[in-house]
Amino acid sequence: MRWHFIKACEQSGLKGLRFHDLRHTFVTNARKAGLDRKVIKTISGHKTDSMFERYSHIDGEDLKNAAEVIEKYQNGHAEEA
């Protein structure tokens, strides 16, 4: 499997990518897709929340989505204030 990964990276011009990086990508994408943390931990084999957090990465898209949720909340509650 590793050989195929290395070959694919070479053919696509990707440098510095490790096979293990796929695990980080899976955990982050599964979280973004809304999978339950326990399900992600079971699939990835992580036993602790601290290991889950190490593999789940927050990026600009996460921050943008958070800002949009907060804005929707504030706009929906502006009439109550």
| DSSP string across 10-62 | HHHT--S--TTHHHHHHHHHHHHTT--HHHHHHHHT--SHHHHHHH----HHH
Q: Answer yes or no: is pLDDT of 81 > 60.
A: no
* Euclidean distance between CA atoms 17 and 55, whole angstroms: 15
> In the chain, where are the structural domains located?
20-77
* Euclidean distance between CA atoms 75 and 77, whole angstroms: 5
Q: Which pLDDT tens digit goes with each residue over 29-56?
A: 999 999 999 999 999 999 999 999 999 9
pTM: 0.75
Smallest CA-to-CA distance from 56 within 41, 74, 70 is with: 41
* Euclidean distance between CA atoms 46 and 33, whole angstroms: 18
